[in-house]
Amino acid sequence: MTFSPGDLFLILPELLVITAACLVLVLDPVLSSSQKDGLAWLSLGTLAICMGLIASQMNHAASAFGGIVIIDAYACFWRLLLCFVAGLTVLLSHTYLREERLYFGEYYGFVLLSLSGMMVMVSAADLLTIYLGTELMSLSLYVMAGLKRSEPRSLEASAKYFVLGAFSSGILLYGISLLYGATGSTRLPAIAAAIAGRSLDDPLLLAATVLLAVGFGFKLAVVPFHMWTPDVYQGAPTSVTAFMAVASKAASFGAFLRVFVEGLGSLKANWSAIFLLVCIATLVLGNIVALVQTNIKRMLAYSSIAHAGYALIGVVAAGVAGTQTGEANGITAVMLYLALYAFMTFGAFTIVAMLRKGGLDGDEIEDFSGLAARHPLAALLMLVFMVSLAGIPPTAGFIGKFYVFMAAVEAGLTWLAVLALVFAAISAYYYLRIIMVMYMREPDPLTAASPRLIMSPALSIVLACAVAGVVFFGLYPSPLVNLAGHAVLTFK
Amino acid sequence: MTVPISYYLILSAIVFLTGVVGVLIRRNIIAILLSIELMLNATNINFVAFSEYLQDMGGQVFVFFALTVAAAEVAVGLAIIIALHRAKDSINIEEFNLLKW
Amino acid sequence: MAELFFGYFAGVIALTAVLVVALRNPVYSALALLVLFFHVAGLYVTLHAEFLAAVQLIVYAGAILVLYLFVVMLLNLKQDDRYHHQWRIAAFVCVPLLLEFLVLLAGNGVAPQSSPLTAEQTAAASDNTMAIGTTLFTTYLFPFEVASLILLVAMIGAIILAKRDIGEGGQT
Amino acid sequence: MTHSFPWLTLLIVLPLAGAVALCFAKDTSVRLIALGITAADLLLSLPLWWLFDASSGSMQFNETALWISTPPIHYRLGLDGISLPLVLMTTMLMPLCVLISWRSIDQRIRSFMAMLLVMEGAMIGVFAALDFVLFYVFWEAMLIPMYLLIGVWGGPNRIYAAVKFFLYTLVGSVLLLVAILVLYFQSGHTFDIVQLSQAAVPASLQFWLFLAFFAAFAVKVPMFPFHTWLPDAHVEAPTAGSVILASVLLKMGGYGFVRFSLPMLPDASIAFAPLMITLSIVAIIYGAYMALAQTDLKKLIAYSSVSHMGFVTLGLFTFNIQGIEGAVMQMVNHGITTGGLFLCVGVIYERTHSRQIADNTGLTTPMPRYATLLVIFALSSLGLPGTNSFVGEFMVLAGTFIWSKLATALASLGIILAAAYMLWMIQRVAFGLPSAPVLSALRDLDRREMATLIPLVVLVFLIGIFPNPILTRMHASVNQVLARTSVPTAATAMRAENQLLPAPTNGDSLAMETPRP
Amino acid sequence: MLYTLIPFLPLAAFLVLGLGGTRIKEQAHLVAVPAVLLSCLLSISAFTEVASGSVISVPLYTWLTSGNLDVHIGLYIDRLTAVMLLLVTIVSSLVHIYTIGYMHGEPGYARFFSYIALFTFSMLMLVLADNLLQLFVFWEAVGLCSYLLIGHWYERASACSAATKAFLVNRVGDFGFLLGLLLVWYSFGSLNYHDIFPAAHEAANQTINLLSPLGGNWDVSLFTLIGLLLFTGAIGKSAQVPLHVWLPDAMEGPTPISALIHAATMVTAGVFMVARLAPLYNLSPVAMQVVALVGAATMVVGATIALTQTDIKRVVAYSTVSQLGYMVMACGLGAYASGMYHLLTHGAFKALLFLGCGSVIVALHHEQDIRRMGGLKDKLPVTYWTFVIGSLALAGFPLTAGFFSKDAVLVAAWLSGPLGQALAVLGLLTALMTAFYSFRLVFVTFWGPSRVDPHHADHIHEPSRTITVPLLILAVLSILTGYLGIPSFLEPVFSTGGEHSGEHGAAGLGIMIAATLMGLAGIAGAYYVYVLNPDLPDRFARQWESLYKGSLNKWYVDEAYDRAFVKPTMMAASELWKRVDVEVIDGAVNGVARGVAWSGWLLRLVQSGQTQHYALAMAGGIVVLVTMLILF
C-alpha cells in the first residue's frame, strides 16, 4: 500500500506534462506577449520528451501505486497517441489562436492539463482514478470550449458541454457507486474477480453496467448520448474541437475498453448487447444526419459520432467473440481505428481552422467553394482526409474500417459489418460533398469576403503529420497494427 | 445497525432521480447545477452506505474525492454562468440555442 | 432506533430533494439543498462516516452552497417562473426509470456481499478520520494528486471564464 | 515462374510516380510528360505479351512481398491469360486518353493528367493483383480519381453523375469487402487469390458470398437493373473519362466474375447461372432498346455498352471454354471499340460542343476521315465479322448455344438491334448533308487526333482477323477456371432443377463432347 | 498457291485505294482494274484446272480456336466455286471498266473503286470458303460493301436510309444464319464442309425438341432446323419474300453497283449457299419444300410488282427479285444445277440490263423515271440493242441464255413431283409477266415519242467507250452462256441430288414450248399495250385500281413492316426508356437517396439546440437500455 520512487518514474511522462502545464501557467503572466510563443515551444518540447519516454516504457508492463496505475503497452499506446495529438493541437493552436486573437498563454496549460487527465484515464486501473482523470480532462475542455468569450456560440458550447458533462459524470459516478456496492472494490482486477461467474441477474450489476455504459457513452459521443457533440464541436474554437474530437475520444475509448473488457469482462455478453444497440443507432443516426449538415464543423461532429459507431463495432466484436484471439482482434481493431481516425480527423479540422472568412471561421461548407482553384494543395489535403474518413483505400480510413469489419466478421457479426458498410457508403456522400464543393463549385461572386487560408510553418507541420499518417498507414499499416496488436497482448 | 442496505439504495435512487428530473425540467442553469448536486449527493449516500456494509474504506475515500470534484465543477460552472449572464443577460438555458440542427 | 434515525433523515432528504427541484426561486432551492446537506451529513454519522459528515458540512454547505447563493445574488436573478416545456415528457421518461431503479435496487432483495457490521467491528472502525487519512495518503496518493490538479484547473478556468476584461488583443 | 524483373510493379508504379512528378512539372510540359509516361508504360507492358508463356495456366510475372503480417496480406501480383490482354488494353488506351485530352481539357490540366495517371496505376493494379485485399484496395482506389474526372471536367450535369457513379459503385463494393472477409475466415485464413480459387467453401455460404460479389461486379459491369449510373456517368464525363469508364472500368466487373465468382464460388455460380444468363439477355436486349431511344451520342453508346457487356456476363456463365474465352475477348473488344466510339464523340464535341445527334449531322462532307473512322468503330460495335467484336460475340453465342439454344436466339436479337441503333446513328451523324452551316466548316481530324484513333482502328481489324494469338494465351487459364466450375453431376442435377433456361442435355442426344472427326 | 491471289489481288487494290485514295483520286482505276482483270485471268485458269477434275484446297491460317471451336480460313475450289469465280471476276471486271466512264468526275471516284475492290474480295472469299464461318464472315462482308455502296452518295437521305435498310434486313436474315451455323457446329463439332458433309448422313434422323424450354415436346428434324435457319440468311441476302424489301431500295446506289452486287453476284449468294450446302438440304424434305415455296412466292411477287413500276432501275430490280425466286425455287426442288445455271445466265443478262439502264441514266443526266424517257433507240443505239438482247434473255426468248436456263429450271421443277409441277405452272405464269414487263421497259424507254426533259433532249448521246464496251461483252455473254453446258458441268457436285438433266423427255419439250409461248405472248402483249394502244395502261389502272395500286406500292409490304416492326420498336424503346429506366430504376435509386436525405432532415430536428432535450435523450437511453437488459 505504499509507493516507491520507481512508481514516479513510471508516471514520469504524466509528471512532465503536469510540470510543463504548471510552468506555462506560472510563466504566462510573467512573459510579454511577444514571448508567449515560447510557451508553445515549451509544451511541444515536453510532449516530445514524453513521447520518447513512453516509447521506452512500451515493453515493460508495470503497475504503480499499488495497482492504481498500470503502465503497460496498452496504456503506452494510448498515451503515445494522446501526446502526439496534443502536440499537433499545440502546433495548430499556435497559429489559430493568433488568428482568433485569443492570446491566452493558459491555453497551452489547459491542453497539457487535459492531456494529463487523459493519460491518467488510459493508464488507470481503478475506477476512482479513471473518474478523476475524466473530470480533469473534461473540466479543462469545458474551459477551453468557452475560451472565445467574445463569441456567444463559444460560450453556449461551453455551457452545454458543461451541463451535460456534469450530468453524465453524475450518472457515471452513480454507476460506479453501484458497482462498488456490488463488488466491494473500485479496482478493476478486484471487480473482475468479484463478478467472475456472476451475471446480470444481480440487479446492482445490471444497473451499474448500464450507468457506466451511459457515462462512457457520453464521452464517446455515441447515440443517444451524443447530442452535445454537434453543438459543442461547432461552437468551440476549432483547435479545441480538433483536440476534443480526437484526443478526448481516444482517451475515453482507452479507459472505456479497460473498464469494460478488463473490469466487466465476464459480463461481456450483456454489455455487448448494449453496445450493439448503441452501435447500430450511432451508425444510422450519425451518418444520416451528417448528410444534411451545412456547417462543416457540425458535419465533422456527426461524422465523428459515426466513427465512434464504427469503433464500437470492434468493441461489440470483442464482446461477442468466443475466442481469446477474437477478443484481442476486436480490441486491436478499436485501437487501430482510433489511432488512424486521429490523423484524418485532426487533419480535416486543421484545414477547417485554416479557412477564414473575414475575421471568422470559414466553417460553412459553402465556404469551401472553389478552394481547389485557389489553394490546390490545401484542397488536395482536404480531399485526402475526406477520402480517408469515407474509408476508401488506399488511405488510413480504409485500414481502420478493414480491421474493424474483420473483427466483426470473425466474431460472426457479418450482418453488422454489412449494415455498417452500407452506412459507410452513405457516409461517402457527405464527404464527397466537401470534395465536390472544393473542386466542382466556383465561389459565389456575390459574397464580398471570399474565404482565405491562413498559413504558417506550424500548420504545415500539422498537415504534413496528418497527411503522412493517413497516407503512410493507408499504404503500410503494419507498424501500427503490430503496435496495437502487441499492446493488446499485454492488456489482459 | 439493522437498516437494510436496500433502504439506502432506494433513498439514493429517489434523490438521484429527483436530481435527474431537476436537470430535465428546470430552466435556470443554477437550478440545474443544484439538481446535479442532488445527483452527486445521492451517489455519496450510496458510497457511504456500501462502505459501511462492506467494511471498506474505499467508498468513503471516493466520497471525499467526489466532493472535491463537485467543488471544482461548481467553480467552473458558476464561472460559465457568470460569463453567460454577461453575454446574454440571462441564465435561462432555453435561450441558449444558437447551436442547433 | 437506527430505523428511526434513518426514517427521519431519509424522509427529510427526499422531501428537500423534491423541494430543490420544485421550488421556482433558486434561492429557495438552494436553501432546501442546504437542509438536505445537513441531513445527509446526519445520515453519514449514522453510517460511521464522521469525517465525511464534517467535510459535507464544511465543503458542501459551507463553501459550495454559499458560492451558489453568492452567484444567485450577484446575478440578481428573477424568479424562474416556468419549468421547461418538456416536463411532461421528462416525467414520462423518469417515472419508468424510477420504477426500474426501485425494482433493481429494492425489489429483487439486494444482498450486499459482506454482512452488516457487528458491534465489535463498529467499535474498531471508530477512528474514522485517521483511517481515511491513512488511506488517502498511501493507497490513494495518486488520485489525490490528480484531484489537486482538478482544483487547479477549476481555479484557473474559473478565472479565465469569469474575468471581465476581454479586450481585443488584451493581455491576459 | 518467378521472373526476377518486377514488370508489374513497374507498370503500376510508373504512372503513380508520374502523377507525383506532374505536380512539380512546368505548366507547358504537363501534357508531354503525361504522354511520355503513358507511352513508356505501354512500351513497358508490351514485352509481357511475348514473355508470357501461353502453355501455362498459372500466374506469371509473379511478385510477392509481405504487406501486412496480421492478418497475412501480401503485395502479390501476377498475370494469367485472362488478365494479360486486359492489362495491355489498359496501357494501350491510356496514351490515347492523354492525346484526346490534349486540347479539350484546358483547365487544371495538371490535375487532370495526374488523375489519369493515378487511374492507370490503379487499373493495372486491379488486373494484376493476386491478393484479395490488394485487389480491393486498387478497386476502390479508382473511385476518387474517376469521381473527380467526371465531376471536375465533366458536362453540365456532372455533379449528379459523379455522385451517382461513386455511390452506386461504392455500395456494390462494400458488400464485396464483407464477402472478402467472410471468405478469409471460411477458407483457410488467406487472402491469396490463387489459394482461394482452390478452396472449398460450403455451398450455403457460397450463396451469400455470390450475392455480395454480384453486388460489386454487377454494378460495375453493369448488369441490367444496376446500369442507370452508366449513361449519366458516360454522358457527363470528359472524353478521356468516358473512354476509361467504358473501356476499362466496366471490364472490372466481368473480370471480377471470372477471376473470383466462378473459381471461388463454383457451386453458387452454377446455381445462379440461370439468373445471370437471364439478366444478361435482358441487358443485351434492353440495353439495345434503350440505345434506340437516345438522341445523345454518348448516351447511345453508353446503352450500347450495357448491351455489349451483357454478352460478357452471358459468356461467363455458360461454363464452357467458348463462352468464357468469348467473354474475355468481348471485354477486350468492347474496350477497343467503345473506346474508339467515345473518342470519336469527344472529337466532335470538341468542335460543335454538342453531343446531340441532331446537332452533328452529315459529317462526311466536312470531315471524311472522321466519318470513316466513326463508321469503322460503329461497324465494329455492331459486330460485323472481320472486326474484333464479332469474334467475342460469336464465341459467346457459341458457348451459350451449348447451354441453351433459346438464350442464344434471344441474345442474337441483340445483334440485330445493335445494327439498328448503330446504323441509324451513322445514318444521321455521318451521312446526309450537314444540318447547319457551321457543320460544313468543321475541320477534319488533325494529326494528333488521327494518332489517337488509328491505333484502335488497327486493333479493330487486327483482332478481328487474327484473334488467335490472344486466344492461345487464354486457353490454359480459362481451363483452370473451368476445372472449378465444371463440377460434376451433383451440380448439374441442381441446375436441372433450378433452371430457367434449358440445359443442352434435355431433349437431344447431340453431345457436345464428342465432335465428329 | 497462285490461286490465293484471286481474292487477294482485289484486296490489295482495296488497301492501296483505301489508304491512299485521297492522293490517287482520278487514277484509281489504274489500281483497281488491273487487279480485277488479273484475278479474272487467274479464275479462268482455276476453272480450267478444276474442269479437269481436280479440287483445289488452299489452307491459309487458323482464325480462332477455342475448345472444339476450331476455325481455319482457307480456299476451296471445286466446280461450283469455279463457276462462281468466273461469274464474279468477269462481271466485276466489266463493272470496273464500266465504272471508269460512269463515275467519271465524281468526288468519290477512288472511294467507289476501293469499295468495289473490297466487294470483289469479299465475294470471292465467300465463294471460296471451305467452312461455314468463313462463308458467314464474308457473307456479312459483302453485305457491308453493299451497305457502303448503296450509301455511296451519302449526301442523299434516301440513299442513306436505303443502305441502312439493306443492312438491317440482311441482319435479320443473318440472325437465322448465325443460329443455323451454331447448330451445325453444335451438332457436328465442326464448321468445315469436309467434316460436315460426310457426317451429315449419320445424323439424318436426329431431332431437336423445340419446346423443351416450356416443357413441351415438339421434335423437329435436326436438318430441317439447320436448313431453315440457314435459309433465313439466304432469304435476306437473296431478297426472298418476305425480306425482299431492301433490294429495290438498294437501287439508290450507283448503277454499276446495282449490276454487280444487286443483280449478278451478292444477291445470288443465298442461292449459292443453298447449293453449296446441298448435302444438308437433301436430308430434309421439309426444308426443301419451304425453300421451294419461298422461291416461288418471291418469283410471283417480284414479277407482279415489276409490272407497274415507273423507275427504270426498280423495274429491273423487281425482275431480279423475281429471277432470284426462280433460282431459289430450283434449289428447293433439288435442281441445284439448274438453279446455278440460271444464276449464271442471269448474272450476265441482268448485269447487262443494269449497265444499260446506267447508260440511259447517264445519257439523261440521272433521269430514272421511264415516264420521262422514250424515243431513245436512235440516240443510244448501242445501249438500245444491248438492252434488247438483255431483255430477250430475261424474257426467255429462244436461243438466248435466259431461255435455256429458265427452261432448265422449269423442266427440273416439273420433273420433281406434284409440288414441282404446281410451281412450274407458276413459273410459266411468271415467265409471261417477265416478258411483258421487260418489253414494257424496252418500249416505253426506247420507243415512242420522246418525253425527255427538253433541257437535256438535245445533247443525248452514247456514253463513252468504257461504258459501251462492257455492254457489248455482256450482250455476247447473255447469249453465249446458254451454250456452255453448265448444268452438266456442275452435275458432279450435286450428284446426290436426283436431277437428271439429260432426260427431259416429253415433259421437257412441252415445258420448253410452253415457256417459249409465254415469253412471246408477253412480248406481244407489251407491244400491244405500250406501242399500239398507249392509253391502255391507264384504263387498266383505272379499271383494276386496287390491284394496280397494290402492285405500284409493292403490295404495301414496306408500310406493313413499318407499322408492325419499326414503329413499335421505336415506340417501345422510348417508352421503355422513359418508364423503366428513368422512372422505375432511376426513380428507385433517386428515391432511396431522397429518402435517406429526408430522414436526415427529420432526424436533424431532434437536435433542437435545447440542452435539456439532450439530457432527456440520455435519460431515455438509460430507460431503453435498462429495459432491454431486464427483459432479455
Is the CB of residue B101 less than 8 Å away from at least one CB of chain E?
Answer: yes
- Grid coordinates belonging to B70: 463537485
Residue A226 lies in a domain: no
- C28–chain A nearest CA distance, Å: 21
- Give the CB-side neighbour count of residue D483, counting CA atoms within 13 A: 11
Nine cell digits for residue B51: 462502505
Q: Which residues of E touch C104 (CB under 8 A)?
A: 626, 630
CA distance E143 to D323: 27
**DSSP letters for chain B:** ----HHHHHHHHHHHHHHHHHHHHH--BHHHHHHHHHHHHHHHHHHHHHHHHHHT-HHHHHHHHHHHHHHHHHHHHHHHHHHHHHHHHS--BGGG--SS--
Q: How many CB pairs under 8 A join A and C?
A: 102
Architecture of domain B5-95 in CATH? Orthogonal Bundle (1.10)
- CA of A155: which chain C residue's CA is closest? C161
Contact B82, C74 (CB under 8 A): yes
Within a domain: A387: yes
Do C90 and E619 count as a contact with CB atoms less than 8 A apart? yes
pLDDT for E504 beyond 60: no
Q: What is the mean pLDDT of residues E250-259?
A: 85
Q: Which of B3, B33, B54, B97 is most worth mutating to test chain C (most C CB atoms within 10 A of its CB)?
A: B3
Distances in Å between the Cα of A84 and the Cα atoms of A115, A462, E546 are 10, 10, 97
Kindly state the DSSP code that residue E204 receives in the 8-state scheme.
T
Distance from CA of D21 to the nearest CA of E (A): 39
Is residue C109 very low, low, confident or very high in pLDDT (cuts 50, 70, 90)?
A: very low
Q: Using CA atoms, how far apart are residues E233 and E240, in angstroms rounded to an integer? A: 10
For the purposes of burial, counting CB atoms within 10 Å of the CB of E332, is it exposed (0-12), middle (13-18) or buried (19 or more)?
buried
Residue among D74, D75, D108, D137 with most chain A CBs within 10 A, to mutate: D137
Nearby residues of D89 by Cβ (< 8 Å), 6 or more positions away: D247, D248, D251, D332, D335, D336
Q: How confident is the model at residue C80 (pLDDT cuts 50, 70, 90)?
A: low
Phi, psi (rounded to 5 degrees) for D317: -95, 20
Distance CA E477, CA E481 (A): 6
DSSP-assigned letters across all residues of E410-433: HHHHHHT-HHHHHHHHHHHHHHHH
Q: Sort out which chain E residues have CB atoms less than 8 A from B23's CB and list them.
A: 612, 615
> Highest mean pLDDT: which of A461-465, E242-246, E330-334?
A461-465
Quote the CA–CA distance of E586 and E577 in Å, as a whole number.
10
Kindly report the number of other CB atoms within 10 A of residue C11's CB atom. 12
Angle between helices D266-292 and E567-576 (to 10 degrees): 120
Q: Which of D337, D367, D388, D366 is nearest to D450 (CA)?
A: D367
Asked whether the beta carbons of D62 and D483 are under 8 A apart, the reply is no
Q: Which of the four pLDDT bands, split at 50, 70 and 90, describes residue D438?
A: confident
Which region among A128-132, D55-59, E492-496, E576-580 has the lowest average model confidence (pLDDT)? E492-496
Average pLDDT over residues D61-81: 88
The verdict on a CB contact (< 8 Å) between A156 and B5 is no
Kindly state the cell numbers that stand for A172.
Answer: 457515471
Please, which pLDDT band fits residue A167 given cuts at 50, 70 and 90? very high
Determine which of A158-172, E20-34, E66-80, E386-400 has the lowest per-residue pLDDT on average. E20-34
Phi, psi for residue A173 in degrees, rounded to 5: -65, -40
- How much is the mean pLDDT over chain E? 84
Tell me the CATH number for domain C1-81: 1.20.120.1200
Q: To the nearest whole angstrom, how far is the Cα of B97 from the nearest Cα of chain E?
A: 5
pLDDT at A176 over 90: yes
Of A4-8, A376-380, C10-14, give the lowest mean pLDDT range.
Answer: A4-8
Which of A167, A180, A184 is closest, CB to CB, to B23?
A167
Determine, for residues B100 and E619 on separate chains, whether the beta-carbon distance falls below 8 Å.
no
Q: What was the pLDDT predicted at A151?
A: 83
Q: Do E573 and D412 touch (CB under 8 A)?
A: no
Domain count, chain A: 1
Asked if residue A89 is part of any domain, the answer here is: no
The Cα of E583 is separated from the nearest Cα of chain A by a number of Å equal to 22
Q: Which percentage of chain D shows pLDDT scores above 70?
A: 93
Q: CA–CA separation, D242 vs D335, rounded Å?
A: 11
Say which of A120, A140, A146 has its CB closest to residue C161: A146
The angle, 0 to 180 degrees and rounded to 10, between the axes of the packed helices D447-465 and D321-352 is: 160
For A158, which residue in chain E has the nearest alpha carbon?
E611
Q: Does E623 touch chain C (CB under 8 A)?
A: yes
Question: Is A281 inside any structural domain?
Answer: yes
Helix runs in D105-256, H state only: 109-128, 132-141, 143-153, 158-186, 193-196, 203-220, 229-236, 239-244, 250-256
Q: Which of D107, D135, D147, D201 to mutate to test the interface with A (most CBs of A within 10 A)?
A: D147
Lowest mean pLDDT, pick from A314-328, C63-77, D227-241, D444-458: C63-77
> Would you call E617 and A227 a contact, using CB atoms and an 8 Å cutoff?
yes
Residue in chain C closest to A200 (alpha carbons) equals: C104
How close is the nearest chain C Cα to the Cα of A310, in Å?
A: 29
- The CA-to-CA distance between both ends of chain E, in Å, stands at 89
* Residues of chain A found within 8 Å of residue D137, distances taken between Cβ atoms: 393-394, 398
At least 3 CB pairs under 8 A between chains D and B: no
Cell, residue E603 = 432526424
Q: Which of E611, E622, E624, E627 to mutate to test the interface with C (most CBs of C within 10 A)?
A: E622
A326 domain-assigned:
yes
C-facing residues of B in 12-31 (CB < 8 A) are 13-22, 24-28, 30-31
- Tell me what pLDDT residue A472 has: 92
B24/E609 Cβ within 8 A? no
Q: What local confidence, expressed as pLDDT, does residue A445 receive?
A: 67
Q: Do C104 and A203 touch (CB under 8 A)?
A: yes
At residue A88, does pLDDT exceed 90?
yes
Query: Which residue shows C-alpha cell 471476276?
Result: E89
**Which of residues 80 through 139 in chain C touch B, CB cutoff 8 A?**
80, 82-84, 86-87, 90-91, 93-94, 97-98, 101-102, 105-106, 109-110, 112-114, 116-117, 121-122, 125, 128, 131-132, 135-136, 139
Residue E207: pLDDT band with limits 50, 70, 90: confident
Q: Is E157 on the interface with D (CB under 8 A)?
A: yes
Q: With beta carbons less than 8 A apart as the criterion, state whether E345 and E404 touch.
A: yes
When CB atoms are compared, the residue of B25, B78, B86 closest to C71 is: B78
Q: Is the peptide bond before A443 cis (omega within 30 degrees of 0)?
A: no
Nearest to D413 by CA among E580, E216, E569: E569
Q: DSSP per residue over A168-199, as a string?
A: HHHHHHHHHHHHHHHHS-SBHHHHHHHHTT--
Residue A370 in any domain: the answer is yes
Find, in chain A, the residue whose alpha carbon is nearest to that of E598: A292
C-beta separation of D147 from A432 below 8 A: yes
**CA E81, CA E437: separation in Å to the nearest integer?**
33
How does residue A166 score in pLDDT terms, banded at 50, 70 and 90?
Answer: very high
Give the range of the structural domain holding residue A321, as residue numbers without chain letter. Answer: 268-492
CA distance E97 to E93: 6
Contact D424 E144 (CB under 8 A): no
Worst-scoring range by mean pLDDT, A33-47, A410-424, E444-458?
A: E444-458
pLDDT attached to residue A2 = 59
In A, minimum Cα distance to E603 occurs at A289
Q: In whole angstroms, what is the distance from residue B92 CA to residue D224 CA?
A: 59
Among A306-310, E78-82, E449-453, E607-611, the range scoring the smallest mean pLDDT is E449-453
Please give the interface size between B and E, counted as residue pairs whose CB atoms are below 8 Å apart. 29
Question: Could D144 and A406 be called an inter-chain contact, meaning their C-beta atoms sit closer than 8 Å?
Answer: no
Whole-angstrom Cα distance, residue E118 to residue E106? 19
Q: What is the pLDDT of residue B90?
A: 80
Which residues have a Cβ under 8 Å from the Cβ of A320 and sit 6 or more positions away? A268, A272, A276, A411, A412, A413
Residue D505 has pLDDT above 80, yes or no: no
Q: Do C97 and E616 touch (CB under 8 A)?
A: no
Q: What is the dihedral of CA A390, A396, A402, A405, to 10 degrees?
A: -60
